Amino acid sequence: MSPGQEPVFPEYEADTSQTSKLLRKFKETPFVPIGMAGFALVVGYGLYKLKHRGEMKMSLHLIHMRVAAQGFVVGALTCGVLYSMFREHVMKPRE
């Protein structure tokens, strides 16, 4: 951005450090990072259990791992949507 040009979204460009941007996004939508962390945990656990899967085929194990990870993410995003609807419609002060 040139020195004489104003930022398009000043509230988003005021914070320059990555940590402050991440904290701001976490406060705005807390269930997205929770879903991402859960996805990483499910995949990590699935890869750890890959060694001890017994007689199960690898493709079947990977499909189960994918479904569990996607289910966690969809569940977290659904909770986030319900939370934001609750916050906007129920907790919103009457005008």
Asked if residues 76 and 40 have their Cβ atoms less than 8 Å apart, the reply is: no
In this predicted structure, what is the pLDDT of residue 67? 94
The pair of three-digit structure tokens given for residue 11, joined into one six-digit string: 């509230």
Burial label for 75, CB within 10 Å (0-12, 13-18, 19+), is middle
| 3-class DSSP state of 85 | helix
The reported pLDDT for the residue numbered 89 is 85
SS3 content of the chain, % helix, strand, coil (to 5): 75, 0, 25
Q: Report pLDDT for 74.
A: 93
Domain ranges for the chain, please list them: 57-94
> What stretches in the chain show pLDDT beneath 50?
15
